[in-house]
């Protein structure tokens, strides 16, 4: 049985994200196989045993059996509850990024992937990651929907043009894994491939240091200068002091109460929304005064600003 | 001459009728074929049987078209890189294949083709409640189909049958035209659904109470409700798309401040119930065929009848399970996963009730019954893999891979289409008065079974290993699975050709079928084959349930004794 499952699934290279999925799939396949075999054997057995002998055959009148109906409703119900709970807990784990995750920015476009690192390095269609450490990908599309899928890690997430989505994984050993785009995106959808290349921690640091970071500085540096250039700091302090708008200090991950009484935790999508549509959600105690930066800041600019804000703690 | 005490549909109170037995002629002189002949008579007919057959013809035509596309797609996938067509052509072909098979074939196939023919007969009615509306729905279907087809083909639409934004709205407005085409098609289903609901409520022959309705009628009833309620959402989607395109109101397009995920919600709010619109009528056929060929009362009549309604209801609440990886909210994802499992339960109950019906039956493995067995096996696999895809963590891995492709082909083709074949072989003698070659039909069923599994079983494996769907090129490790699948699809194609051959041949030179070749107790079998223009030359009176095989045949052939008889 185990070898059959191995045949069904590629080798698992990120047990933290995939072990629960694999076990669940094995469980469902096993239970399904048993029930399917039971149903099939019963069908064939009945067809042989109760084969018509003559056109005048009389059959007994059996209309229903409540005990039986109840049994074969409740047992499957229990089984699907188990499957639901199991799938739910596995999925919660996929959503819960560990705190020490190494973050990489992903930009998807027709038809390729760009991976950006903290030091400003950018790589196309190859994402280099350290082994034995959780990696978080913060993803955004430049055009249509895409989807980031690594079968070896059992992870998949759609990449959207209007907000950030993320996935995480932890590859335990150095090696390579295939990345597919799994949301149909046009002519070369099937060529929109990439590789995850896993290095040991020290190899990874060497690799990162060897990368050309371009002239424009790191995303954090670019973000910092944008804040001055665009006049953001006129209304938002970076040191916690009170101005017209909320301070950027310790903004990322902060819980804020809105004017309508709701609370939210500040994340990439909230900051992006506040830049493009400032009136959408106003923090309690502030006025709706900011103008939209739609068209004035590019998607990359916004990502850089967010990266800078994340460092302000 | 006898009397029977029954409750007429209109009042519900018991009434006594004078009844007598009407034995259908085995060699009718007047049938709906011999009356109102000629092309014009067919094109303007309000007879539900002729309309049903014209639907059957149209559906067969589109099935042929969709099937040829499928074989071309499979042929292209013989090799990892280009085999014989360009990537763009491939993308247009799979879009066309999906759209044709879903909207032109599966949705109308059972209700509008077989259902139209059988439903009034099973109710002992002369026709549906609104015969002209019925004809209108056929023309709307044909117009909608042509419209959609032109929109798809002329724009070279390559979005997949799901038309996801923003890809679908990027450069052309073809998604509007296609949605409009699908909406026109949808109107045809709204009209058929309305017609069926009215017919089932108002035109049941004396004695057919709700507890004596054939399960096929219950299934069509549940389907009709879904058709009437789900299709209007397409109109809303269309309206919003049009507003966005022409008035610049940002709804789905992120560059206008819209949200592409919202489009997915709208699309699946219609298209998920549509999946049940496609499969539930198949359930009806299975109930009819399995009882006839077991000569036995259905096991769990109410469990099967009510589970159809339960599926219709819960089916409206699970659309979000197509969107677990889309970035929809975590709460929504959790709730949709939970509800998805609930919809699996009534389906499982049906399968077990059908198998239980076989117990102590008198089972004859004629072709329609062979298809029922094929259905039970294939559809169960479709169901179990549906449970797999409903489980959140597993779906994250399997979403948009060939596992999903295999799953819905097991459900839609192994389910709906196999049920359609069961129904077609079951009612063929009733519809045409001719019998097909039983041996060839069984060979056909075997080819379909082998070809189907060979095509789609490997897709479960490669999907699970990570092969994404809608891929023109693929990496080498999947080659063996793709090639097996392609060879399987050719066997499947041969199977369908064989079916077309012996059915066509039966029309020319088939044996006379007789009014009730299977010895069924169903009301539609108590008329001549093919039936009279008005189905029965008397008003049927029903005193037994449709599956009361323990009662003698003469009790199923009663009709109102007319005044002329009374004088004697």
Q: How far is CA B522 from the centre of its chain?
A: 20
- The whole-angstrom separation of Cα B326 and Cα A147 is 9
- A11 touching B (Cβ < 8 Å): no
* Chain B residues within an 8 Å CB radius of A28: 384, 387-388, 391, 394
Q: What is the CATH number of the domain that holds B459?
A: 1.20.210.10
Q: How far apart, in Å, are the Cα atoms of B7 and each of B203, B206, B209?
A: 13, 6, 7
- A87 touching B (Cβ < 8 Å): yes
- The whole-angstrom separation of Cα B104 and Cα B62 is 7
Is there a contact between B355 and A83 if contact means CB atoms under 8 Å apart?
Answer: no
**B537 lies in some domain:** no
**Sequence spans of domains, chain A:** 2-52+60-95, 102-210, 219-310
Closest CA to B520 of B311, B335, B315, B362: B362
**B543 lies in some domain:** no
- A45 touching B (Cβ < 8 Å): no
**B299 lies in some domain:** yes
Smallest CA–CA separation between A214 and chain B, in Å? Answer: 29
pLDDT band of residue B127 (cuts 50, 70, 90) is very high
* Chain A residues within an 8 Å CB radius of B478: none
**B432 lies in some domain:** yes
Q: 3-class DSSP state for residue B129?
A: coil
- Interface residue of B262, B373, B392, B472 to substitute, partner A, most A CBs within 10 Å: B392
Q: Are A13 and A171 contacting, i.e. CB atoms less than 8 angstroms apart?
A: yes
- A86 touching B (Cβ < 8 Å): yes
**Angle at Cα A35 formed by Cα A30 and Cα A39, nearest 5°?**
150
Q: Over the stretch A94-140, which tens digit does the pLDDT of each residue have?
A: 999 999 999 999 999 988 899 999 888 888 899 999 999 999 999 99
- A94 touching B (Cβ < 8 Å): yes
**B532 lies in some domain:** no
Is there a contact between A72 and B401 if contact means CB atoms under 8 Å apart?
Answer: no
pLDDT band of residue B564 (cuts 50, 70, 90) is low
* Chain A residues within an 8 Å CB radius of B379: none
What does the pLDDT read at residue A2? 59
Helix (H) or strand (E) holding B455: helix B438-464
Is there a contact between A183 and B397 if contact means CB atoms under 8 Å apart?
Answer: no
Q: Which of residues 130-189 of A touch B (CB under 8 A)?
A: 143-145, 147, 149, 151-152, 154-158, 160-163, 165, 178, 180-189
**B29 lies in some domain:** no
Closest CA to A256 of A242, A243, A271: A271
Question: For residue A202, with 0-12 CB atoms within 10 Å meaning exposed, 13-18 middle and 19 or more buried, which class applies?
Answer: exposed
Question: For residue A206, with 0-12 CB atoms within 10 Å meaning exposed, 13-18 middle and 19 or more buried, which class applies?
Answer: exposed
Is there a contact between B299 and A187 if contact means CB atoms under 8 Å apart?
Answer: no
Q: Are B361 and B294 contacting, i.e. CB atoms less than 8 angstroms apart?
A: yes
Is there a contact between A61 and B297 if contact means CB atoms under 8 Å apart?
Answer: yes
Question: ipTM of this complex > 0.85?
Answer: yes
* Chain B residues within an 8 Å CB radius of A94: 393, 396
Is there a contact between A39 and B334 if contact means CB atoms under 8 Å apart?
Answer: no
Q: 3-class DSSP state for residue B444?
A: helix
pLDDT band of residue B568 (cuts 50, 70, 90) is very low
Q: How far apart, in Å, are the Cα atoms of A260 and each of A244, A272, B287, B356?
A: 19, 20, 55, 58
- The whole-angstrom separation of Cα B459 and Cα B381 is 13
Is there a contact between A50 and B359 if contact means CB atoms under 8 Å apart?
Answer: yes
For A90, half-sphere exposure in the C-beta direction (CA atoms, 13 angstrom radius) is: 28
Alpha helices (H) in B315-417, listed in sequence order: 330-358, 367-390, 392-398, 402-411
Closest CA to B14 of B24, B22, B23, B4: B4
Sign of CA dihedral B118, B123, B124, B125: negative
Smallest CA–CA separation between A16 and chain B, in Å? Answer: 12
**B24 lies in some domain:** no
Is there a contact between A28 and B303 if contact means CB atoms under 8 Å apart?
Answer: no
Q: Are A52 and B363 contacting, i.e. CB atoms less than 8 angstroms apart?
A: yes
**B21 lies in some domain:** no
Give the pairing type, strands A102-109 and A135-141. parallel
Give bridge partners of residue A169 from the DSSP assignment. Answer: A135
* Spatial CB neighbours of B276, under 8 Å, sequence gap ≥ 6: B223, B226, B311, B312, B315
Q: Tokens at residue A65, please?
A: 């059996």
pLDDT band of residue B173 (cuts 50, 70, 90) is low
Q: Over the stretch B43-57, which tens digit does the pLDDT of each residue have?
A: 999 999 999 999 999
pLDDT surpassing 80 at residue B567: no
Peptide bond before residue B530 is cis, with ω within 30 degrees of 0: yes
pLDDT surpassing 80 at residue A169: yes
Residue that wins the pLDDT comparison between B388 and B3: B388
Helices B367-390 & B402-411 angle (0-180, nearest 10) = 140
- Cβ density class B350-365: b for 16+ within 10 Å, e for less: bbbbbbbbbbebbbbe
* Chain A residues within an 8 Å CB radius of B396: 21, 91, 94, 154-156
Mean pLDDT of A199-222: 85
* Chain A residues within an 8 Å CB radius of B298: 63
Give bridge partners of residue A255 from the DSSP assignment. Answer: A265
- The whole-angstrom separation of Cα A38 and Cα A129 is 47
- The whole-angstrom separation of Cα B304 and Cα B353 is 7
Q: How many CB pairs under 8 A join A and B?
A: 264
Question: Count of domains in chain B?
Answer: 1
pLDDT surpassing 60 at residue A214: yes
Q: Give me the architecture of the A2-52+60-95 domain, per CATH.
A: Orthogonal Bundle (1.10)
Residue of B nearest to A85 (CA): B391
Which of the residue ranges B5-9, B14-18, B207-211, B452-456 would you say has the lowest mean pLDDT? B5-9
* Chain A residues within an 8 Å CB radius of B374: none
Residue of A nearest to B90 (CA): A187
Q: Over the stretch A37-80, which tens digit does the pLDDT of each residue have?
A: 999 999 999 999 999 998 888 899 999 999 999 999 999 999 99
Is there a contact between A28 and B397 if contact means CB atoms under 8 Å apart?
Answer: no
Q: Tokens at residue A62, please?
A: 């059996």
Residue of B nearest to A140 (CA): B327
Torsion region of A168: left, alpha or beta (phi above 0 gives left; psi -120 to 50 gives alpha): beta
Q: Which CATH class is domain A219-310?
A: mainly alpha
Q: Which CATH class is domain A102-210?
A: mainly beta
- A20 touching B (Cβ < 8 Å): yes
Q: Are B44 and B131 contacting, i.e. CB atoms less than 8 angstroms apart?
A: no
- A279 touching B (Cβ < 8 Å): no
Q: 3-class DSSP state for residue B287?
A: helix
Is there a contact between A62 and B472 if contact means CB atoms under 8 Å apart?
Answer: no
- The whole-angstrom separation of Cα B158 and Cα A144 is 14
Q: 3-class DSSP state for residue B324?
A: coil
The pTM of this model reads 0.90
User: Which range marks the domain in which residue B441 is found?
Assistant: 52-516
Instruction: Compare CB distances from B464 to A8, A83, A86 and report the shortest one's residue.
Output: A8
SS (H, E, C) chain A: CHHHHHHHCCCCCCHHHHHHHHHHHHHHHHHHHHHHHHHHHHHHHHHHHCECCCCCCCCCCCCCCHHHHHHHHHHHHHHHHHHHHHHHHHHHHHHCCCCCCEEEEEEEECCEEEEECCCCCEEECEEEEECCCCEEEEEEECCCCEEEEEHHHCEEEEECCCCCEEEEECCCCCEEEEEEECCCCCCCHHHCCEEEEEECHHHHHHHHHHCCCCCCCCHHHHHHHHHHHCCHHHHCCCCCCCCCCCCCCCCCCCEEEECCCCEEECCHHHHHHHHHCCCCCCECCCCCCCCCCECCECHHHHHHHHHHHHCCC
Instruction: Compare CB distances from A156 to B388, B399, B549 and report the shortest one's residue.
Output: B399
* Chain A residues within an 8 Å CB radius of B158: 186-187
Which of the residue ranges B46-60, B200-214, B379-393, B548-562 would you say has the lowest mean pLDDT? B548-562
Residue A270, number of CB atoms within 10 A of its CB: 20
Residue of B nearest to A20 (CA): B393
Give bridge partners of residue A199 from the DSSP assignment. Answer: A130
Is there a contact between B387 and A156 if contact means CB atoms under 8 Å apart?
Answer: no
């Amino acid at each position: 049985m185990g070898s059959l499952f191995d045949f069904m699934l590629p080798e698992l290279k990120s047990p933290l994200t995939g072990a629960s999925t694999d076990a669940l799939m094995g469980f469902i396949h096993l239970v399904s196989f048993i029930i399917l075999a039971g149903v099939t054997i019963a069908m064939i057995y009945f067809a042989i045993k109760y084969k018509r002998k003559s056109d005048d055959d009389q059959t007994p009148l059996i209309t229903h059996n409540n005990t039986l109906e109840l049994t074969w409703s409740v047992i499957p119900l229990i089984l699907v509850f188990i499957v639901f709970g199991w799938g739910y807990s596995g999925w919660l784990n996929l959503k819960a990024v560990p705190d020490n995750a190494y973050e990489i920015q992903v930009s998807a476009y027709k038809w390729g992937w760009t991976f950006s690192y903290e030091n400003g390095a950018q790589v196309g269609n190859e994402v280099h990651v350290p082994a034995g450490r959780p990696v978080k990908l913060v993803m955004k599309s430049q055009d249509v929907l895409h989807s980031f899928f690594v079968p070896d890690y059992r992870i998949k997430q759609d990449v959207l043009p209007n907000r950030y989505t993320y996935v995480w994984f932890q590859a335990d050993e150095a090696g390579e894994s295939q990345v597919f785009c799994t949301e149909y995106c046009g002519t070369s959808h099937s060529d929109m491939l990439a590789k995850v290349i896993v290095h040991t921690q020290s190899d990874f640091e060497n690799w990162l240091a060897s990368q050309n970071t371009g002239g424009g500085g790191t995303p954090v540096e670019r973000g910092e200068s944008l804040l001055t250039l665009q006049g953001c700091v006129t209304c938002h302090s970076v040191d916690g002091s009170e101005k017209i708008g909320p301070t950027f200090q310790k903004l990322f991950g902060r819980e804020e109460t809105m004017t309508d009484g709701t609370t939210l935790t500040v994340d990439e999508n909230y900051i992006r929304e506040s830049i493009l549509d400032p009136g959408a959600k106003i923090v309690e105690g502030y006025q709706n005064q900011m103008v939209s930066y739609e068209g004035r800041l590019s998607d990359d600019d916004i990502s850089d600003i967010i990266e800078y804000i994340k460092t302000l703690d | 001459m006898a009397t029977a005490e029954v409750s007429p549909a209109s009042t519900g109170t018991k009434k006594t009728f004078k009844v007598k037995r009407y034995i259908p002629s085995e060699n009718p002189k007047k049938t709906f074929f011999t009356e109102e002949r000629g092309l014009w008579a067919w094109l303007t007919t309000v007879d539900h049987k002729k309309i049903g057959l014209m639907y059957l013809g149209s559906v067969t035509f589109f099935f042929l078209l969709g099937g040829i596309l499928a074989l071309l797609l499979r042929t292209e996938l013989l090799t990892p890189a280009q085999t014989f067509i360009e990537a763009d052509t491939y993308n247009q072909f799979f879009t066309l294949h999906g759209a044709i098979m879903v909207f032109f074939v599966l949705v109308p196939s059972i209700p509008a083709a077989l259902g139209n023919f059988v439903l009034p007969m099973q109710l002992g009615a002369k026709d549906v409640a609104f015969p002209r509306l019925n004809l209108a729905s056929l023309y709307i279907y044909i117009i909608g189909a042509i419209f959609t087809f032109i929109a798809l083909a002329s724009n070279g639409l390559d979005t997949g049958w799901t038309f996801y934004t923003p890809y679908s709205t990027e450069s052309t407005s073809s998604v509007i035209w296609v949605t409009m085409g699908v909406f026109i098609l949808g109107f045809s289903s709204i009209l058929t659904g309305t017609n069926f609901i009215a017919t089932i409520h108002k035109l049941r022959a004396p004695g057919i109470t709700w507890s004596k309705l054939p399960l096929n009628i219950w299934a069509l009833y549940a389907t009709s409700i879904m058709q009437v309620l789900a299709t209007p959402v397409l109109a809303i989607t269309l309206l919003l798309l049009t507003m966005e395109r022409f008035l610049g109101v940002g709804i789905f397009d992120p560059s206008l401040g819209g949200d592409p995920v919202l489009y997915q919600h709208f699309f699946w709010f219609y298209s998920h119930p549509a999946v049940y619109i496609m499969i539930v009528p198949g359930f009806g056929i299975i109930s009819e065929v399995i009882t006839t060929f077991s000569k036995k009362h259905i096991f769990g009549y109410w469990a099967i009848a009510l589970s159809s309604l339960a599926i219709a209801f819960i089916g409206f609440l699970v659309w979000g399970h197509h969107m677990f990886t889309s970035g929809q909210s975590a709460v929504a994802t959790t709730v949709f996963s939970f509800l998805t499992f609930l919809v699996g339960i009534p389906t499982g109950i049906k399968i077990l009730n059908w198998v239980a019906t076989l117990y102590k039956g008198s089972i004859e493995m004629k072709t329609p019954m062979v298809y029922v067995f094929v259905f039970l096996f294939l559809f169960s696999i479709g169901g179990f893999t549906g449970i797999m895809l409903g489980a959140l963590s597993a779906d994250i891995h399997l979403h948009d891979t060939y596992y999903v492709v295999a799953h819905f082909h097991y459900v839609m083709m192994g389910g709906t289409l196999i049920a359609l074949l069961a129904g077609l072989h079951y009612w063929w003698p009733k519809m045409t008065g001719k019998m097909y070659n039983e041996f060839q039909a069984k060979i056909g069923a075997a080819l379909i079974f082998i070809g189907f599994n060979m095509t789609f079983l490997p897709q479960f494996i490669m999907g699970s290993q990570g092969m994404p769907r809608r891929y023109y090129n693929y990496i080498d490790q999947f080659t063996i699975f793709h090639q097996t699948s392609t060879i399987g699809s050719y066997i499947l194609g041969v199977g369908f050709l064989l079916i077309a051959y012996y059915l066509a041949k039966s029309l020319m030179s088939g044996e006379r079928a007789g009014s009730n070749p299977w010895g069924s107790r169903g009301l539609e079998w108590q008329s001549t084959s093919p039936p009279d223009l008005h189905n029965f030359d008397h008003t049927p009176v029903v005193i037994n349930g449709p599956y009361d095989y323990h009662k003698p045949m003469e009790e199923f052939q009663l009709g109102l004794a007319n005044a002329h008889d009374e004088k004697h």
